[in-house]
Amino acid sequence: MYSDLPKVLHGLAGKPLLAHVLDAARALEPSRLCVVVGHGADRVREMLAAPDVSFALQDRQLGTGHAVMQAVPQLAPKGTVLILYGDVPLISSDTLRSLVEAASHGALAILTQEVEDPKGYGRIVREGGKVVRIVEEKDANGNERAIREVNTGILAVPREHLEPWLARLGNANAQGEYYLTDVIAAAVADGVQVEVRHPAAAHECLGVNSKTELATLERHYRMNRSAKLMKQGVTLADPARIDVRGELTCGRDVSIDVNCIFEGKVALADGVKVGANCILRDVEIGAGTEIKPFSLMEEAIVGANARIGPYARIRPGTTLDDEVHVGNFVEVKATRMGRGSKANHLAYVGDSTVGRDVNIGAGTITCNYDGANKHRTVIEDNVHIGSDVQLIAPVTVGAGATIGAGATISKDVPPGGLTLTEKKQVTKPDWKRPQKKK
């Protein structure tokens, strides 16, 4: 990977490769989850620590069989052991479930697949149609290398057989390692049935050993998510140009334009439209709302039939009620805006409570920070604020008030009426513009 970051911590769709594998395993409701760590063990523990995950250290990398040996003391005494790989992130829970079910009656179950180019994979050797062993490429002869059925490495083993089979592993091979795949031959020798299952999709078993392969898996993941969304009725302008890096739920008749990124938990209600190049992170969007292009929204709630953007930034702690309009180059943070209120151009509304049917003019800002502490601005219902107004918090603007353009408001404004900070307009007829020096 040409990186200081341990391979299994590289990101796919917004979370580490290993996190995808753990999530697939959790879907099977296992009694225990054990991660075998080696290179970068401390960083892996730090990033993937969870109440249901234990860690086993493989201080010397002596092969996959040796890795499993390190985990054995942490395994339950009975049941089925499912062995996965931290750099194979797209494996589905359905595929794993079929493998575990195959091993639940005492069989050894392995996941194999047919590939056009088997180079680099262990080959499945069959006799009379039955699997008898797996041979790694470096140990294979010419005939064995021609086999196209390959080992994915993923298998399910009855717990009572695992330790005896591991004890019989040797390292008399080209790599000098203890291969987990040798348990297949041990199972055959003991008369244990070997069941074979295949992944639902070929890309499920793709591993990551380079940034190129990581990008390939990212594309597979993206297309899978796009297919699921479209199956649910979501309209995607281009299925190849959407990134879902978390959980995205959509109602009916949702449409999403190109190059949008969804992170964390995002919920789009019926009829929501998301314009091109938007980023939504941990937000809820109400029915009929339109998010126009180039808008960034995070940790916010938006009501129904609102209009956001283009080029709007909605920051954490914001709640926008139904029919609110937040326009171009407007930033809203830690604010509640009431139904029908508008800030359409070039405004900053921070740490504020805004009532219903308020109009905030272009260039208006709430001055919420005094250099040490944040203060709150309250704007009551039906207030009209002209352009280029500064509201110096803490301040309250009473219901129905109007504030003239260019005002600097540092005191509470009473309800109704017009509030100005007047300055005399002066004209100097003899004044001349400065000239550019030659």
Active site residues: 345
- For residue 238, the 8-state DSSP code is -
Helix axis angle for 159-167 and 64-71, nearest 10°, is 130
Q: Which long-range contacts (CB under 8 A, 24 or more apart) does 359-365 make?
A: 359/383, 359/384, 359/385, 360/385, 361/385, 361/386, 361/387, 361/388, 361/389, 361/405, 362/387, 362/388, 363/387, 363/388, 363/389, 364/388, 364/389, 364/390, 364/391, 365/389, 365/390, 365/391
For residue 224, what is the enclosing H or E element?
A: helix 211-231
Q: How many helices (H) and strands (E) does the chain have?
A: 8, 36
Residues 6+ apart with CB under 8 A from 428: none
User: Would you say 364 and 341 are in contact if contact means Cβ atoms under 8 Å apart?
Assistant: no
Residue pointed to by tokens 């359409």: 344
- Integer Cα distance of 185 and 192 in angstroms: 10
Q: Which residue has the tokens 């070929």?
A: 202
DSSP string, 280-315: EEEEEE-TT-EE-TT-EEEEEEE-TT-EE-SS-EE-
